[in-house]
Each structure stands twice: as C-alpha cells, then as structure tokens.
Structure 1
C-alpha cells in the first residue's frame, strides 16, 4: 500500500506542478508528519522540514525528529517560538494550543515567503477535519488547497487516510517516533507537548508552563516504565490514565502529591 501511495503522490505532484516547487513541511516529529515527510521525499519532491519548539518542548522527541530528517537527508529548520508563545498566550483563556498554532502558522508563512518556499505541507489525516475545515472548502482535490487564510497553498498528502490507516502505513515504512507515553488529547493517541494539559478554560499563566512540563515529565517516566498512557492536567493536577491498574495509580499519586506539597509550601511562603 505504501508503494502505491508514493507512486500516486508522485503522479499528483506532476499533474499539479508540485514537483517543480519548494515545499516546506510543518514537522512535529510525530507519526503523521514523519510519514508525510517520508512519502514526499520518496516521491522525489523538493521538501524541507520546519520544527517549532519552545522552552517547554520535549527534548526527546525533538532529537528523534532531527535524527529522522538526517536519515532521510532532508533539510531541517528549527525555530524557537518561546517569546511569541508567551506574548500571545499569557493572560488569555485556554486551550493554549489555539494560541500556539497561530504563532506557528504565522512563523511558517513568513519563513516560507522569505526563503522561497511556494507551498506549505502538513501531516493532517482524515480524522483532522476540525483542523482542516477551511482547507476542505477547496473545490478541487483536498490534498492541495489554495484558499487558506495564511495566503499560501497547503499540501496534505495524508488527508484521505484515517488515523488507523496512517498507523499501518507508518509501520510499513518503519517509522517509530519517540513516545513520551502521554495520555493524548483525542481518541487516537495524539502526543504533542506538555502545555496541552493546561486546564482548558484557565486564564493562562507562565507558572503553569513550568508546572505542566515538570509534573508531566515525571509522570512520563512512570508511563514509559509500565507502557501505559498518562498525563496530568495543570493547575488542577488531575491525573488522566489509559491502561493503569491500582499499583500504577498509587505510584502516580505519589508523584502528584510531591507537586501538591511543593505548591502548598510555596503558597505558605
């Protein structure tokens, strides 16, 4: 199936002129964007990757992504958006991912324009209809949309395939992204960064950023140990777990209790 998709992507690129254009893929290092990059590279497209990170990003996944693009011999740009994220989110109501995506898209647009990229690419799959609602208004093939508000065409090579199909294709390609064993935000296992676990309707504070990173980093160690999925919401410190038993929950509670005690001590001071 993978070979057919690569062949189809190559033919689609030739039919639409994509094969003559510089393409910039928004690359998180997750399964979807890694597979999208793999397919485009194998199809012979002129594709580069751009990864946005901030002070609280998982370093483990960033390093995995760098090794992956190096193996594919793909040019890979790393952009620190810490300052922009703080400026555009502190004091606003969550979820924080809405604010972060705006910062990333704005940076991607200007980076593409300045460096001669004619098309942006994303790893959206068929389960990402909310994210791709505007892109889906294009009357042509939804893989290539020319009407997004950012003002540059967007190519989504995986948009016709479900999350389950993408999982199978990634296995066929031998793609195994580094897992933090997060709980994830959706029905499918969608990892990201620890800031996504800031409680949805909280007014965003920078202190939540540090807490979200620290508590979830410790919980991820436990999750990886037992091969379950766990994350902690902040500032409520509510545990979310998929696959946990009583023993694992007790250990997780111990970790969370330390952070609660530290917060209580800080408030007393």
Structure 2
C-alpha cells in the first residue's frame, strides 16, 4: 500500500516541477504565487501541498518575499514572486575551442537571442537543441519539454554571460557619464542599474538613464539583441537580480 502512494507522489512532484517551470517561463520567467497557484490547481488535483514541496526545490525555483512578507512553513504569501531557475549554462568555449566532457549547451548565442542572421540553415554554429550533445543535457536538467522560447527565457535570466554588463562606474559619481572614464566609448551599458533591477528609488528624479538611448541601443544591437529582446531587457535583469538576491 505504501509503495504505490510514494510512487504517485514522486510522479506528481516531477510532473508539477515541469509544468510550473513551463508556466513561469511562458509568462516572462517569473510569476506571483497567487497566479501560479491558480493555474496549477486547474491541472493538478489537491496540489497545494505538492506545489509547496516543489517550490522548495532551490535548484529549480526561487521564492522572493517582499519586505513586509514573511515566509511560513505551510504557506506562501499570494504576492511573493516565483522565479524559474536552472544551473544549465551556455558553453563559453564553443565554437572557438575544444571542451572535453562539456556539461554546457553548444548553441549559437544569436539563436538564443532569436536574432541570428543565418537562421535558415546557413549558420556555422548549432541551432539544434536535439543534437547528440544538447539533447542529453536538456534531459538531465529535466528541461526537454520546454518550448524553444521558454528555454531561452530560462537561460537568459540565469546565465550572466548572456546579458551585457551594466557599467558600475557610470552608476557612480556625477556628470553625464558618472565616473566612467571611457564615456561614450565604454562597451558596457550606461543605464541605471537599480532601474534595470526594478528598485530605483529616485524614479523620475534619478540622475542615471532609465531609457535605451541611441548609444545604448547600438551597443545592444552589436551584442546581438533584436528589437523584441531590447524591449524585454529590463525584465531579464529584474529576474536575474531576483534570482541572485533571493538564492541561498
């Protein structure tokens, strides 16, 4: 009697992890617990306790509580934010070198940005998620059921190498360029780091840029970003910040 119940629980948790990950990634990489709970209960019966068990899996999810919210062992605040997390990364060597026993994806980064100019079979770098190298990695991380856009959302908000760096010196000091000595020649983004993280307290009175000017847009285009990804950039940084600041 005990073994079938344990097996059913294991299957339920595994299925719910995949389903919750898919839901979150298809909704911009993060969701309020209230909305996630509502959608999950439509699919899984008696899922409250199982969902709490799933969200305690810190390798797959991050729960971010607001300043006035408190975590409880048997419940979560409806407004706490749930982020999708993964330890899977893009290979830093591919395609320019050899990496024996590599445990990272071998993919064209412009393909991940959904902005590859050769996305018609002419690209020299892999666009194949089902390759002999990539497919086992996706299965190992239990991500094989994600749609392409869902997977790319997950990768970009977890893999710091996929997002351009925000200039720390620009965000210090006074003047149009802060304390950045490279000024307009700086290769990093000259934007307010707190705005990009979703927590700038100065808002309209902030001395740092809260918009993508022509120079910043040119840097992002050179980095490989298309128009849609540029528009979604603040959300990606906010998600990454939420994951990094709330992970333990």
TM-score (ref. length: structure 1): 0.26
Write 1 or 2 for the structure with the bigger share of strand. 1
Write 1 or 2 for the structure with the bigger share of helix. 1
TM-score (ref. length: structure 2): 0.28
